[in-house]
Structure 1
């Protein structure tokens, strides 16, 4: 990989793996209370300091790294959500796009709630048919900040998202 999608691919893999079936999920009440905003802000301050020490051409890389850390923080908070935590720990798992070789999509369901995770594990854009049930769902996290849910989607390279319904 030439680095063109370095941060997108890292986010795609993190989203997919953090929300997988069988992921170790602890009861949120048992987890130590971590102030994710403090961790992110501390990292940003350090990154900003380092950014001033390096060549201005590398400033974009420092900003992207901040974005990556923010994204990991969002995933951590998402996993602490009691509903999501229950779905990951006890929900039924089913593949949602077995016909796609490069798209790993799966659904977790529990007590009438459904959680769809879609990940394009390719550097190519791919066509994807989104289940109409999820069009009006709650987009909880996504690799790309701007995303439009539709029946026929063109997934960008390493695009991944999770929808709760």
Structure 2
């Protein structure tokens, strides 16, 4: 098995596995690797850790009734989860351009549980930046 060295640490297959992968190691392994992901609080790995934490802390996201919102919007996927009076809205822009959305109700008094941009303005102007994702708890 090919062994790779980066950041003074012995790593096999870019640090993501010690087994034999079914895909070749990408040449970008020196800067996209497990060690770099661990160190970067804004990495994809750490974002997913936050996402799992939010899901585990909110049974409404696991067991709540699902309602699709803004059904005809080709750019934004949005839905509501409800359980025992608690409501959480998920709004996701799957495009490379800014996209607007309409939920049919106000999110002015909501609280952001998680967002993938450092400062999310989407609850104020109903617009998402490219690939923006926001989870809102409605009050």
**TM-score range with shorter-chain normalisation?**
0.5 to 0.7
What is the aligned partner in structure 2 of residue 7 from structure 1? none
What is the aligned partner in structure 2 of residue 128 from structure 1? 101
Q: Is the CA contact 2:90–2:136 (under 8 Å) kept in the aligned structure 1? A: yes
For 1:113, which of 86, 96, 102 is the aligned residue? 86
Q: Which has the larger radius of gyration?
A: 2
| 5+ residue gaps, structure 2 | 1-5, 9-29
TM-score w.r.t. length of structure 1: 0.56
Higher share in strand: 2
Q: Is the CA contact 2:55–2:62 (under 8 Å) kept in the aligned structure 1? A: no
What is the aligned partner in structure 1 of residue 22 from structure 2? none
Q: Which has the higher contact order (CA 8 A, sep 6+)?
A: 1
* Alignment: residue pair count: 108
| 5+ residue gaps, structure 1 | 1-47, 51-58
For 1:75, which of 42, 51, 71 is the aligned residue? 51
Trace 1:79-158 onto structure 2 (pairs within 5 A): 79-81=55-57, 84=58, 86-148=59-121, 149-150=123-124, 152-158=125-131
Following TM superposition, the consecutive aligned residue runs of length 4 or more in structure 1 with deviations greater than 6 angstroms are 59-62
